[in-house]
């Protein structure tokens, strides 16, 4: 069976009959009440095609917003298959049904760590139209022809974007919010780094010098004192606003007694 659906040319996926037989066997042997079967696809990749030669299913539990997969079971099964055929590698996963759900995205995050371009194959066992429906999906970059593509955000959203970017280098995938002074220091360091990569230009240098000369000369101690004073004023206004809100809420409770 060769499927080219949803694949950019010249990519071709070849699925061996033993794979389909194994998937149907897992479907027939599923536990009572299990509506969806998922499993790992194994095979080989060359320059022109992807060949799926084997597969195995594994237990999982899913809820509305998460999927719990037995990773240890999947790892052990793959090690056993490697002893039989050392050339087979993980290609992706299959799932029962003919649609892509939000759980597919969660499972993709796991397989994206196992292979560079994982396959997601759907197998519809309902036999609609009297035939077995099989589709294969791979990820592909999205682009607009002849036009640049990127994120668009307001200046106030830049803080959130920068924080999300920093989590990529964090082992715990979490990061704390930075203070206003730290953000100013980070922006100044980024500006200094960018300026070091700019090719020297006398005209640009004069404009920059003129811009710098327009900034009043303030000693570091006076600048820090002024900044701290402004931050204290902002914190005082925020505190008074919260206090006023609490007083109004308290008055409403007293009036309803």
Say if residue 200 is in the same domain as residue 232: no
45 touches 9 (CB < 8 A):
no
144 touches 156 (CB < 8 A):
no
Torsions phi, psi for 211 (to 5 deg): -65, -40
Examine residue 71 and state whether it is found in any structural domain, yes or no: yes
Choose among 87, 91, 17: nearest CA to 50: 91
Examine residue 143 and state whether it is found in any structural domain, yes or no: no
Say if residue 79 is in the same domain as residue 131: yes
Chain centroid, CA 115 distance in Å: 16
Say if residue 22 is in the same domain as residue 128: yes
Strand partners, 54: 42
Choose among 121, 149, 147: nearest CA to 39: 121
Say if residue 81 is in the same domain as residue 162: no
Structural domain boundaries enclosing 256? 216-257
CATH code where residue 102 lies: 3.40.140.10
Say if residue 204 is in the same domain as residue 231: no
Q: Count structural domains, the chain.
A: 3
Say if residue 13 is in the same domain as residue 113: yes
Strand 2-3: give its sheet, edge to edge: 2-3, 13-15, 50-57, 38-45, 89-96, 119-124, 133-138
Examine residue 107 and state whether it is found in any structural domain, yes or no: yes
In order along its 257 residues, the chain shows pLDDT tens digits of 333 344 444 468 888 888 888 888 888 887 776 667 888 889 888 877 888 888 888 776 665 555 666 677 778 888 888 888 888 888 888 888 777 766 677 777 777 777 777 888 888 877 777 777 888 887 766 555 655 555 566 666 767 777 777 776 667 767 777 777 777 888 888 888 777 776 677 887 788 888 888 877 788 888 888 888 888 888 899 899 989 989 888 888 888 77
Say if residue 112 is in the same domain as residue 233: no
Examine residue 144 and state whether it is found in any structural domain, yes or no: no
Say if residue 180 is in the same domain as residue 198: yes
Say if residue 72 is in the same domain as residue 26: yes
Say if residue 203 is in the same domain as residue 133: no
Choose among 85, 82, 83, 31: nearest CA to 57: 31
| Helix or strand run (H / E) with residue 226 | helix 220-255
């Amino acid at each position: 069976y060769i499927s080219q659906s949803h694949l950019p040319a010249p990519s071709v996926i070849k699925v061996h009959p033993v794979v389909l037989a194994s998937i149907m066997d897992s479907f027939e042997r599923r536990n009572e009440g299990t509506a969806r079967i998922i499993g790992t696809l194994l095979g080989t990749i060359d320059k022109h095609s992807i060949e799926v030669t084997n597969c195995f299913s594994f237990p999982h539990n899913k809820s509305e917003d998460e999927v719990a997969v037995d990773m240890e079971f999947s790892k052990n099964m793959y090690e056993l298959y490697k002893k039989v055929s050392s050339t087979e590698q993980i290609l992706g996963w299959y799932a029962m049904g003919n649609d892509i759900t939000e759980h597919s995205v969660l499972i993709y995050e796991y397989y994206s760590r196992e292979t560079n371009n994982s396959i997601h194959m759907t197998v519809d066992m309902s036999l609609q139209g009297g035939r077995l429906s099989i589709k294969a999906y791979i990820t592909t970059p999205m682009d607009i022809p002849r036009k640049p593509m990127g994120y668009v955000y307001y200046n106030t959203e830049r803080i959130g974007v920068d924080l999300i970017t920093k989590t990529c280098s964090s082992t715990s995938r979490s990061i704390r919010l930075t203070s206003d002074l730290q953000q100013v220091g980070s922006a100044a360091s980024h500006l200094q780094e960018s300026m070091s990569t700019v090719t020297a230009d006398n005209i640009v240098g004069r404009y920059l010098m003129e811009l710098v000369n327009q900034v009043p000369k303030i000693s570091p101690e006076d600048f820090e004192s002024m900044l701290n004073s402004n931050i204290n004023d902002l914190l005082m206004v925020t505190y008074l606003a919260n206090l006023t809100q609490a007083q109004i809420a308290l008055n409403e409770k007293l009036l309803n007694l």
